[in-house]
């Protein structure tokens, strides 16, 4: 039972990590109607810059700050140089261009930082464990990720629902020509939204860097999960992204944690282990298929 | 003016074409230089080139032209490159493949075309047992070897139970099978994870609950970095010791894992501190030339080059006389950086395998050899080979 609670916590933690990534992606898709495969690249930029700054300065907060600025700046430049010219094109062109950007960013990190994966440690003030479940020490850093994810969710809610900028973003999502006609500079609004999305991805990258290998191409392995999240949640909806991310995190974690034991108890053969592993990785796709069967546009269609 | 330019560039091009048509013997290297795993191929290539440079651009007194192409970790691309090497470059000796799936696509084809293939890394079981071939040699190891040695070590050290993990793909299953071949204690958990997985929180929670005496994992590349970092973050490295093959503990990975790897025991056929003259010379020369520590992959590339050199020397640089060249390869008459090295009947190494420990001292984090666990170790498939 306590193990189950711990695994739920693990699932929530993975979910909030995914939320940080998918919030930006869903925002960009919803407001700008743009498919951005290169979203994982901003995650990678965040992780690389944070690891570099932390190694040089030893300060996690400085690393976080510089990495956020770098990721947002990258997003801003990419929007101005590449994506701005693609809004009028269809999605296939956007997919091709942003796929090209993935290759560009991966090769660029190899040229700048080399093939050696970077090292980033958990900052001293976040090391250690907390026994929030009796007798099971849970890493403080993972709890911090949950907390940060919650804060970002609240922050985004306030931004979108209670500020002028948020009002414009919502307006841009529902009728872009009308908001342009009302005198809002839609170009700058788009650049801003895209940079915000990149910043959130970079934030996820910084939080991930002490846990994961900081290496070229690290964004792609998590990008697929992120797309599953926004499809489940309903493309364009932040609320959907939050719920979708938590669902995916929980299903993925609980599947990996308990399916092997369950199958072994049922079949008691040696192949049960690898069958369970395959089934566990199928879990989130089954979830997606199930939800789409009843709600074809996701849980919260925007 | 324009025609003059064209004329002179034509002349220049013809000179360029004419130069490689010298008598240099071509060796075709197919290896992985891109993708995340690109550093493996890079080190194999650099080790090979180092051996050539130490011979003055020659191997066994023969001028060598090394052709290097990147397979991008894709079997189809590897096959294409090998066909080009055979058809247009008339290559007689090939080497370089890092990954077993690429090797399985390329090796069985090229050895049928009377080409020698000498593997500096991949050693799939299918090519060591029933699928062995007289023109195929492996200068590194059979894939299971570095897992077997850990099985034996954990067994000898008296750990009563073990929790074992690997990715859910053929090499992962072979790894755990190799470990279990020599470990006779209780397996309290056998877990297959997603290939390329980054978050191991769920597996670590289960692992803690299973209370094993030891943990063995095979998670190559970034997966291993993720696992070790999170293992340490969960505080498990203080209570349950971790064991693994050398693949997750080479000089480059250790740099990315940091303190989380300290104290881990891992199995390898080579380490930079192995005490023999050939190894000292290799490590020094590699550090001087490339400015970094060699990995085991570099040592394998270097040994492969010297193995080829020994056979070229014995046959006066004529791999065309296949029987003589093969016989010379089988003798393995070269100074391996591993010290003890010879070929078994299936053309795979019979060698000593060691256990190393990751330590941290003034010079950084690196491996020290702890003990020799296997002497003259023969792989498990040699008996199935009809050679």
Find the helix packing angle between A186-208 and A164-174, rounded to 10°.
110
Diameter of chain A measured on Cα atoms: 68
Mean pLDDT throughout A133-160? 92
CA separation, residue B278 to residues A75, A257, B96, B166, B219 (Å):
52, 48, 21, 34, 31
Dihedral through CA B255, CA B292, CA B38, CA B259, nearest 10?
Answer: -10
Nearest Cα neighbor of A41 from A220, A215, A231 is: A220
Rg (CA), chain A: 20
Highest mean pLDDT among A228-237, B5-14, B29-38: A228-237
- The angle, 0 to 180 degrees and rounded to 10, between the axes of the packed helices B100-112 and B170-182 is 100
B36, B172, B226: best mutation site toward chain A, by most A Cβ within 10 Å?
Answer: B36
Q: Which pLDDT does position B19 carry in this prediction?
A: 46
**CB contacts, 8 Å: A142 with chain B:** 201, 233
| Residue matched to tokens 């930082």 | A113
Using the predicted structure, report yes or no on whether residue B174 has a pLDDT greater than 90: no
CA atoms within 13 A on the CB side of B285: 20
pLDDT over threshold 90, residue A264: no
Interface touch A213/B222, C-beta < 8 Å: yes
Please name every residue paired with B27 in a beta bridge, in sequence order, or none if there are none.
Answer: B66, B93
How many whole angstroms separate alpha carbon B132 and alpha carbon A68?
54
Question: What is residue A147's predicted lDDT score, i.e. its pLDDT?
Answer: 96
Contact B42 A139 (CB under 8 A): no
pLDDT in tens, B223-258: 999 999 999 999 999 899 999 999 999 988 998 999
Beta bridge pairs of residue B28:
B67, B94
Which of A96-105, A150-159, A215-224 has the least mean pLDDT?
Answer: A215-224
Residue scoring higher pLDDT (A172 or B295): B295
Residues B145 and B177 sit within 8 Å (Cβ to Cβ): no
Q: In the predicted model, what is the mean pLDDT of chain A?
A: 91
What does the alpha-carbon distance between residue A169 and residue B376 come to, in Å, rounded to a whole number?
70
In contact, B25 and B320? CB cutoff 8 Å: no
Instruction: Choose, out of A256, A265, A271, A281, the residue to mutate when testing the contact with B (most B CBs < 10 Å).
Output: A256
Q: What percent of chain A is predicted at pLDDT more than 90? A: 63
Contact between residue B360 and residue B262 where contact means Cβ atoms under 8 Å apart? yes
Smallest CA–CA distance from B196 into chain A, residue: A221
Which of B225, B275, B286, B213 is closest to B250 using CA atoms? B225
Q: What does the buried/exposed string (b/e) look like for B54-67 if buried means 16 or more CB atoms within 10 Å of the residue's CB?
A: bbeebbbebebbbb
The predicted model gives B379-387 an average pLDDT of 93
Burial of B81 (0-12, 13-18, 19+ CB in 10 A): buried
Nearest CA in chain B to A259: B191
CB contact under 8 A, B252 and A116: yes
Q: First CA to last CA across chain A, in angstroms?
A: 38
Phi, psi of B226 (to 5 degrees): -55, -50
Contact A116 B39 (CB under 8 A): yes
Q: Which residue did the predictor score with more confidence, B5 or B206?
A: B206
pLDDT at A297 over 80: yes
Rounded mean pLDDT, A80-85: 92
Q: Do A281 and B194 touch (CB under 8 A)?
A: yes
Distance CA A294, CA B1 (A): 73
Distance CA A155, CA B293 (A): 47
The residue among A14, A119, A255 with the most chain B CBs within 10 A of its CB, best to mutate, is A119
Inter-chain contacts counted by CB atoms under 8 A, chains A and B = 120
Mean predicted confidence (pLDDT) in A280-286: 89
Alpha-carbon distance of A302 to A235, in angstroms, equals 7
Q: What pLDDT band is residue B6 in, cutting at 50, 70 and 90?
A: low
CA distance B2 to B379: 65
DSSP string, B99-122: -HHHHHHHHHHHHHTT-EEEESS-
Give one word for B263, left, alpha or beta, with left for phi > 0 and alpha for psi -120 to 50.
left
In chain B the domains, ranked by start, together with CATH numbers, are 20-141+275-343 (3.40.50.2300), 145-268+353-384 (3.40.50.2300)
Closest chain B C-alpha to A152 CA, distance in angstroms: 21
Strand order in the sheet with B136-138: B58-59, B62-70, B25-31, B93-95, B116-119, B136-138
- Name the residue facing A215 among B206, B222, B229 (closest C-beta): B222
Looking at A163-271, list the stretches that DSSP marks H as alpha helix, in order from N- to C-terminal side. 164-174, 176-181, 186-208, 218-233, 238-267
Count of all residues that appear for chain B in the document:
387
- What's the gap in Å between the CA of B12 and the closest CA on chain A? 31
Neighboring chain B residues of A215 at a CB cutoff of 8 Å: 36, 222, 225, 256
Going by their DSSP bridges, the two strands B25-31 and B62-70 should be labelled as: parallel
Q: Measure CA of the first residue to CA of the last residue in chain B; give whole Å.
A: 65
pLDDT by residue (tens digit) across B181-214? 999 999 999 999 988 888 999 999 999 999 999 9
Under a CB-based contact definition with an 8 Å cutoff, are residues A30 and A173 in contact?
yes
CA–CA distances in Å: residue B44 to residues A8, A259, A300: 44, 40, 52
Q: How far B201 CA sits from the closest chain A CA (Å)? A: 6
Which positions ≥6 away from A87 have C-beta within 8 Å?
A32, A33, A34, A190
Q: Are A286 and A293 in contact (CB under 8 A)?
A: no
Q: What percent of chain A has pLDDT over 70?
A: 99
Query: Furthest-apart CA pair in chain B: how many Å?
Result: 84
Binary contact (A139, B234; C-beta < 8 A): yes
DSSP E strand stretches across chain A: 129-133, 136-139
Q: Where in chain A are the domains? A: 2-216
Task: Identify the pLDDT of residue B16.
Answer: 47
Answer with the residue of higher pLDDT: A176 or B357.
B357
Contacts of A213 in chain B (CB under 8 A): 198, 221-223, 225-226, 229, 256
DSSP SS3 for A260 = helix
d(CA A155, CA A157): 5
pLDDT tens sequence across B206-231: 999 999 999 999 998 889 999 999 99
Residue in the block written with tokens 């080579």 = B270
> b/e map of A229-252 (b: 16 or more CB within 10 Å)?
bbbbbbbbbbbbbbbbbbbbbbbb
Beta-strand pair A136-139/A129-133: antiparallel
**What is the chain A residue with the closest CA to B206?**
A257
Of A167-171, A286-290, B321-325, the one with minimum mean pLDDT is: A167-171
Tell me if residue B359 falls in helix, strand or coil: strand
Q: Report the pLDDT value the prediction gives residue B37, as an integer from 0 to 100.
A: 81
Residue A136 has a pLDDT of: 85
User: How far is the C-alpha of A166 from the C-alpha of A157, rounded, in Å?
Assistant: 9
Nearest-by-Cβ selection for A122 from B196, B205, B233:
B233
């Amino acid at each position: 039972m306590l193990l189950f609670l711990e695994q739920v916590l693990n699932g929530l933690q993975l979910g909030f990590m995914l939320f940080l990534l998918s919030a930006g992606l869903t925002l960009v898709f919803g407001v700008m109607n743009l498919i951005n495969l290169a979203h994982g690249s901003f995650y990678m930029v965040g992780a690389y810059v944070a690891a570099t700054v932390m190694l040089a300065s030893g300060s996690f907060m400085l690393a976080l700050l510089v990495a956020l600025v770098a990721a947002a700046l990258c997003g801003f430049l990419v929007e101005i140089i590449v994506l701005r010219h693609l809004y009028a094109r269809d999605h296939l062109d956007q997919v091709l261009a942003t796929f090209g950007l993935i290759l560009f960013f991966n090769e660029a990190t190899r040229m700048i930082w080399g093939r050696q994966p970077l090292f980033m440690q958990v900052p001293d003030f976040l090391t250690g464990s907390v026994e929030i479940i009796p007798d099971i020490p849970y890493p403080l850093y993972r709890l911090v990720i949950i907390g940060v994810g919650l804060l970002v969710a609240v922050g985004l809610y306030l931004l979108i629902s209670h500020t002028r900028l948020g009002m414009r973003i919502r307006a841009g999502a529902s009728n872009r020509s009308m908001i342009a006609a009302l005198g809002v500079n839609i170009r700058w609004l788009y650049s801003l939204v895209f940079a915000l999305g990149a910043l959130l991805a970079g934030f996820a990258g910084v939080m991930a860097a002490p846990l994961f290998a900081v290496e070229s191409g690290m964004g792609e392995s998590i990008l697929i999960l992120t797309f599953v999240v926004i499809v489940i949640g309903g493309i364009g909806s932040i609320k959907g992204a939050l719920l979708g991310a938590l669902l995916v995190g929980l299903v993925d974690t609980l599947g990996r944690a308990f399916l092997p034991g369950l199958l072994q108890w049922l079949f008691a053969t040696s192949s049960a282990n690898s069958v369970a592993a395959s089934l566990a990785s199928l879990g989130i796709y089954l979830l997606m298929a199930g939800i789409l069967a009843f709600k074809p546009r996701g849980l919260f269609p925007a | 003016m324009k025609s003059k330019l064209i004329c002179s560039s034509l002349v220049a091009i013809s000179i360029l074409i004419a130069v490689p048509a010298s008598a240099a013997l071509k060796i075709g290297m197919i290896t992985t230089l891109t993708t995340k795993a690109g550093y493996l191929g890079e080190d194999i290539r650099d080790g090979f080139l180092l051996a050539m440079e130490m011979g003055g651009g020659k191997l066994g007194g023969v001028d060598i032209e090394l052709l290097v192409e990147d397979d991008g970790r894709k079997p189809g691309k590897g096959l294409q490159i090998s066909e080009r090497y055979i058809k247009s470059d008339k290559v007689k000796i090939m080497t370089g493949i890092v990954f077993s799936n690429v090797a399985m696509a390329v090796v069985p084809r090229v050895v049928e075309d009377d080409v020698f293939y000498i593997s500096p890394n991949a050693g799939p079981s299918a090519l060591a047992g029933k699928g062995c071939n007289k023109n195929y040699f492996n200068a590194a190891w059979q894939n299971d070897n570095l897992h077997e040695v850990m099985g034996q070590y954990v067994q000898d050290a008296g750990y009563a139970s073990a929790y074992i993990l690997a990715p859910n793909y053929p090499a992962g299953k072979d790894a755990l099978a190799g470990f279990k071949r020599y470990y006779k204690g209780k397996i309290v958990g056998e877990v297959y994870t997603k290939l390329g997985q980054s978050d191991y929180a769920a597996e670590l929670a289960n692992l803690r609950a299973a209370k094993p005496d030891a943990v063995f994992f095979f998670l190559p590349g970034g997966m291993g970095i993720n696992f070790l970092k999170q293992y340490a973050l969960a505080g498990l490295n203080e209570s349950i010791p971790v064991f693994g093959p050398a693949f997750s503990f080479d000089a480059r990975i250790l740099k990315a894992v940091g303190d989380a790897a300290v104290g881990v025991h891992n199995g390898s056929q080579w380490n930079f501190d192995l005490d023999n003259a050939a190894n000292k010379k290799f490590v020094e020369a590699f550090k001087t030339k490339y400015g970094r520590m060699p990995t085991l992959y570099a040592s394998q590339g270097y040994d492969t080059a010297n193995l080829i050199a020994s056979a070229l020397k014995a046959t006066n640089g004529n791999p065309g006389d296949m029987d003589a060249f093969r016989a010379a390869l089988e003798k393995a008459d070269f100074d391996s950086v591993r010290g003890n090295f010879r070929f078994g009947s299936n053309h795979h190494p019979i060698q000593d395998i060691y256990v190393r420990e990751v330590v941290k001292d003034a010079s950084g984090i690196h491996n020290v050899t702890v003990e020799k666990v296997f002497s003259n170790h023969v792989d498990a498939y040699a008996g199935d080979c009809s050679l």
